[in-house]
Structure 1
Amino acid sequence: MGGPLDGVRVVELGVMVAGPACAAILADWGAEVVKVEPPDGDPHRGNLNTALFELDNRGKRGICLDLKRPEAQEVLSRLLADADVLVTNLRLAALARLGLDYDTLSARFPRLVYAAATGYGTTGEGADKPGYDMGAYWSRAGVAHAVTQAGTAPPVSRPGMGDHPTGLALAAGVCAALVRQRVTGRGEFVTTSLLRTGSYTISCDLISRAHGQVSATGLSRMLYNPILAVYQAGDGRWFWLLGLQATRHWPNVVRAIGRPELATDPRFATMGALIGNRDEALALLDEAFAERPLDHWAEAFDRHGVWWDPVLSLDEVLADPLAHAAGVFRPIAGPDEVPAPGRDAQADAAGASTAGGGPAERDPRPITVATPVDFGSLPPGPAPRAPELGEHTEQVLLDLGYDWPAITALKDADAIP
């Protein structure tokens, strides 16, 4: 059985991360995606870490077209005539110069859902401003400021930190537009931006500030109460207590540290008291947690119903049995395997502790990170690999009705490599 987007045809004009990430999500959900690249390829192919390109381009067919050539534009027109969706994160002004803007294409292909990821939106002075997620999402949307401690430089965002949620948001918009397309027979102009996604990410802080409330930025230990805070165990490992409802969770925490009498201590017995005396509670818990290693606290927390999570390194996440059971990772299909959409059921990665300790047993094939939505109808299986540059050009052209003399003519015209 195919995915929920089985039968949906997508054409991608995308580079780097945000646009290709959207198309990769649609491919994971069952859509047929054709990635159109210029002869020198998506610039992301030049990244020394080839796994990054693989992450956002798996499951696609790849063709090369020089869209400056009219013959190549005719090929693209044939692709779009049979497509449901166009996904792009190229600058819209550049696309308009090629006659690939929404108004032009929707007049020719009224069913087409045109999905565009931008840096700063489609109107105003930012409409054609080039953007990367470190700028539009991380910096301009306020995310970096919110996590910066006073007197220090803003921290650097991680690769793709804004691109991937932007791609996910655009994929959600595409699916909504496809529902409408099925009802009305009409396409839609669907857009999101790095700036909009970043602002939505930090929206709790933004809306609080807009209503005159002060949002504390650059917090290093706790949000506002001492059991929604990070602590260090005696072996130097860090973990978060997740006691959002302080009155509910405080008794469990103090039982876990062997101090049940603190549950009714007037300094901490109510939400207001606990927050008002948070520095005292923080010091008390720091002293207790420093006495034992994290494995001890993991067992005590689970026994007493304390909500918590370890702060894992990247290597620990890769080995974490909980992450494998949750379908975070999928092996990449080998050259002779038939890949399937959906999560990979590598649930019981034995040998790692609850806190993310020992090495986990997992599939020896190279892995990728799964997109963060599962469908119960999808079978487990390996993820398809990303295409080589122009790998499917000739096959796609044959599928579009070109014969070999016509393909040779396209080569002679430099429309395809």
Structure 2
Amino acid sequence: MEKDLFAGLKVIDCASYIAAPAAATVLSDFGADVVKIESPGEGDTYRNLYQAPGYPVSPHNYPWMLENRNKRGIALDLKSSDGIAVLHRLVDQADVFITNMPLPVRRRLGIRYEDLGPRNPRMIYASFTAYGETGAEAEKTGFDSTAYWARSGLMDNVKPSSDAPPARSLPGMGDHPSAMALYGAIVTALYRRDRSGKGGQVTSSLIANGLWANGVYVQAQLCHANVIPRPPRDQLPNACTNMYRSRDGRWLTLSVLNEARQFEPLLAALGRRDILDDPRFATLELRRANSRALIAVFDDTFAGRDLAEWRRRLDAEGITFGVTGTLDDIDDDQQMRDAGALVPYGDSDMLTVNSPFEVDGLTKVATRPAPALGEHSDEILCELGYSADDIARLRASKAVS
């Protein structure tokens, strides 16, 4: 079988936090040589995020492990002339340069596309921003919680009812899907380079990805549709696409879209064929008109059995449903392992989250631990042609650490 599709592809990760570095991680999963650039001293501030108040407490730096596996690290002061000179050597040999630094910072450091692109016309310059490359807000900073989740309407649209507070997002909830968009842009540009020999710039942003994620409702608004505020769960217009709580306190979501074919099997799974004799629920139209009453009946029914029994009964009738998973469930979820969604992390007994697609005939690289700060500085400098004396001088000047 083919292995390491991107072997020999040189990628510079000159980015921080999640979306842009995660795109580089996906490239590394398929064999790309990714060099992570951090500033000397404290390094990427993302290294410390797991210690922030409210984050899960662990002796392991789990965000850093996930976003920066497989990469080599160099600590480089891009504010110094020596540091920029090292970056230029990296760029001269690179296939891909990835950054999400704010546009004013790129301008000050001289690492914009117009600064680096002419040095290597075959290089793909992948730029990720919060609000896009143009317009009055192009230079604003943002995170997925602000630009992807809040600005796009997702935060408002997924709250449990119209009068509820906005729904808070989880760390990286918008960054990881956005990383896949940036990865797709990079690979598209590499395909174009194979045909034309030319590199170029690709861009993506949190706001664009947030709108794409909320695309159905956003398009409805653009078509001047009447968007109905979300009612409470017990007032939804369709009892067959609602959430219900089992006797042991677990929630599951029904997704019965073809009621003409599946309503009777659903009632069989629930052990409630008697509902067919209730004139309030005899037709689809009546079930919609009396949805609150049917939801109340289903609430009482689901409260009578534990989740494990409901899973067995619904599966037996071919009913589509989903369990509201908890983090505690993941340790025992064999399907996640069987599907390759969770894979071993390095030589440890831990697992990590795999990038979310596979290609027939290709094998992803075995995961390697994320780099310590400047772990591969000397190794990378040697590959760039620096001598031992040169490296000592760069270290003495603090351009490299």
- The residue type equivalent to 1:85 in the other structure is V
Q: Distance in 2 between matches of 1:264 and 1:61?
A: 67
Name whichever structure is richer in helix by fraction. 2
DSSP-derived class of the 2:193 partner: helix
Q: Distance in 2 between matches of 1:398 and 1:260?
A: 75
Equivalent in 360, 366, 373 of residue 389 of structure 1:
373
Q: Shift in Å at residue 224 of structure 1?
A: 4.4
Compared with structure 1, are the counterparts of its residues 74 and 269 closer, same or farther at alpha carbon in structure 2 (3 Å cutoff)? farther
Q: Shift in Å at residue 187 of structure 1?
A: 1.1
DSSP-derived class of the 1:319 partner: coil
Match of 2:8 in 1: 7
Match of 1:400 in 2: 384
Compared with structure 1, are the counterparts of its residues 220 and 84 closer, same or farther at alpha carbon in structure 2 (3 Å cutoff)? farther
- Contact residue 59 and residue 385 of structure 1 kept, 8 A: yes
Match of 1:96 in 2: 107
User: Deviations 1:190-213 (Å, cap 9, x if unpaired)?
Assistant: 111111111111111111122222
- The residue type equivalent to 2:374 in the other structure is G
Q: Shift in Å at residue 244 of structure 1?
A: 2.3
Match of 2:17 in 1: 16
DSSP-derived class of the 2:72 partner: strand
Q: Distance in 2 between matches of 1:269 and 1:26?
A: 54
- Contact residue 250 and residue 263 of structure 1 kept, 8 A: no
- Contact residue 112 and residue 187 of structure 1 kept, 8 A: yes
Unpaired runs of at least 5, structure 2: 52-57
Equivalent in 295, 319, 332 of residue 282 of structure 1:
295
- Contact residue 37 and residue 74 of structure 2 kept, 8 A: yes
- The residue type equivalent to 1:323 in the other structure is M
Q: Distance in 2 between matches of 1:241 and 1:250?
A: 11
Q: Shift in Å at residue 184 of structure 1?
A: 0.8
DSSP-derived class of the 1:373 partner: coil
Compared with structure 1, are the counterparts of its residues 183 and 266 closer, same or farther at alpha carbon in structure 2 (3 Å cutoff)? farther
DSSP-derived class of the 1:10 partner: strand
Equivalent in 170, 184, 195 of residue 158 of structure 1:
170
Q: Shift in Å at residue 272 of structure 1?
A: 3.5
Compared with structure 1, are the counterparts of its residues 368 and 218 closer, same or farther at alpha carbon in structure 2 (3 Å cutoff)? farther
DSSP-derived class of the 1:410 partner: helix
Compared with structure 1, are the counterparts of its residues 135 and 323 closer, same or farther at alpha carbon in structure 2 (3 Å cutoff)? same
DSSP-derived class of the 1:239 partner: strand
- Contact residue 29 and residue 365 of structure 2 kept, 8 A: no
What is the number of equivalent residue pairs in this alignment?
388
Aligned-pair identity in percent equals 36
Q: Distance in 2 between matches of 1:381 and 1:31?
A: 9
Normalising to structure 1: TM-score of the pair?
0.88
Match of 1:210 in 2: 222
Q: Distance in 2 between matches of 1:220 and 1:13?
A: 45
- The residue type equivalent to 2:322 in the other structure is D
Unpaired runs of at least 5, structure 1: 335-363
Q: Shift in Å at residue 162 of structure 1?
A: 1.1
Q: Does 1:145 align with 2:156?
A: yes
Match of 2:54 in 1: none
- The residue type equivalent to 1:386 in the other structure is A
User: Deviations 1:311-362 (Å, cap 9, x if unpaired)?
Assistant: 121111232112221222122112xxxxxxxxxxxxxxxxxxxxxxxxxxxx
Matches within 5 A, 1:170-319: 170-221=182-233, 224-260=237-273, 262=275, 267-268=280-281, 270-319=283-332
Q: Shift in Å at residue 30 of structure 1?
A: 2.0
Q: Does 1:37 align with 2:38?
A: yes
User: Deviations 1:360-409 (Å, cap 9, x if unpaired)?
Assistant: xxxx7122111111223244774211001000000011111111111112
DSSP-derived class of the 2:98 partner: strand
Q: Distance in 1 between matches of 2:283 and 2:8?
A: 56
Task: Please give the root-mean-square deviation of Cα atoms over the aligned residues, in Å.
Answer: 1.9
Q: Shift in Å at residue 305 of structure 1?
A: 1.2
Greater relative contact order, per chain length (Cα 8 Å cut-off, separation 6+)? 2
- The residue type equivalent to 2:320 in the other structure is W
Match of 2:55 in 1: none
Q: Does 1:113 align with 2:124?
A: yes
Q: Distance in 2 between matches of 1:191 and 1:270?
A: 50
Q: Shift in Å at residue 115 of structure 1?
A: 0.6
Equivalent in 350, 361, 368 of residue 377 of structure 1:
361
Normalising to structure 2: TM-score of the pair?
0.91
User: Deviations 1:149-180 (Å, cap 9, x if unpaired)?
Assistant: 33332122101111111111101111111100
DSSP-derived class of the 1:156 partner: coil
Q: Shift in Å at residue 412 of structure 1?
A: 2.3
- Contact residue 246 and residue 274 of structure 1 kept, 8 A: no
User: Deviations 1:203-235 (Å, cap 9, x if unpaired)?
Assistant: 111111222223334455386421111111122
User: Deviations 1:265-319 (Å, cap 9, x if unpaired)?
Assistant: 6644554443232222212211222222222211111111111121121111232
- The residue type equivalent to 2:16 in the other structure is V
Q: Distance in 1 between matches of 2:10 and 2:279?
A: 63
